[in-house]
A = this chain, B = another copy of it.
């Protein structure tokens, strides 16, 4: 077995984003990504099943943070208050470095329909994690699913605002604003 490589997943993500930006997603191979990161192909495959998943590496960790955030909310919290707690937990986990490379990530995905489908699926997976955590609190399924969708939307909208170079607020502050805006909009559905 190869020896442990410090920060291997992070190095692979950054190398992949560089290569995707330089030569396109379709033209980039796993061998090239590993080489750019100074790692072997075998190391790549210890962390990611294929080059696509490099772009969606956070999905499992993000789902867990959301689920744990819901579980940790006080018993008295409404469904949307529990979702707000989950978004606090998730957004607090993002680093300045993630913010820095996010525009490249977004650009690669926007340029490729297959990656857009994968991104839609990731969002659905995050919403599913929220839904099941809410259901465990006794929230009825349909309400849990709607609250989760508002949470996933708030997260996506907040992410887009947070990665703007001009943005001054924290990711958590922006996510709270977005969730509140969505809550207000639900009152005007008729």
Contacting A150 at CB < 8 Å: which of B77, B78, B116, B189?
B189
- Set of chain B residues within 8 Å of A118, measured between Cβ atoms: 117
Query: Is A107 on the interface with B (CB-CB < 8 A)?
Result: no
Task: Please judge, given known A-B contacts A116-B121, A117-B120, A120-B124, whether A142 and B189 are in contact too, CB under 8 Å.
Answer: no
Q: In the complex, what residues of B have CB within 8 A of residue A153's CB?
A: 145
Could you tell me if B143 and A80 are in contact, using CB atoms closer than 8 angstroms? no
Contact A142 B181 (CB under 8 A): yes
The answer to whether B189 and A147 touch across the interface, beta carbons within 8 angstroms, is yes
Q: Are B185 and A140 in contact (CB under 8 A)?
A: yes
CA distance A189 to B145 in the complex (A): 10
Q: Does A188 contact B (CB under 8 A)?
A: yes
Among B78, B147, B190, which residue has its beta carbon within 8 angstroms of that of A80? B190
Q: Which residues of chain B come closer than 8 Å to A136, judged between CB atoms?
A: none
A147 to B146, CA, bound (A): 12
- Does A81 make an interface contact (CB < 8 A)? yes
CB contact between A190 and one of B79, B145, B190 (< 8 Å): that residue = B79
Give the distance to chain B from A89, nearest Cβ to Cβ, in Å. Answer: 18
Across the interface, do B186 and A186 meet the contact criterion of CB distance under 8 Å? yes
Given known A142-B181, A146-B182, A182-B146, contact A188–B117 (CB-CB < 8 A):
no
Interface membership of chain A positions 135-164, coded 1 if the CB is closer than 8 angstroms to chain B and 0 otherwise = 000001011011101100100000000000
Residue A183 CB within 8 A of the other chain:
yes
Q: Are the CB atoms of A79 and B143 closer together than 8 Å?
A: no
Instruction: Give 12 pairs: A residue, B residue, CB < 8 Å, sorted on A.
Output: A80-B190, A117-B117, A120-B120, A140-B185, A142-B182, A143-B185, A145-B153, A146-B186, A147-B189, A149-B149, A183-B189, A186-B189
- Interface, chain A (partner B; CB < 8 A): 77-81, 116-118, 120-121, 124, 140, 142-143, 145-147, 149-150, 153, 181-183, 185-186, 188-190
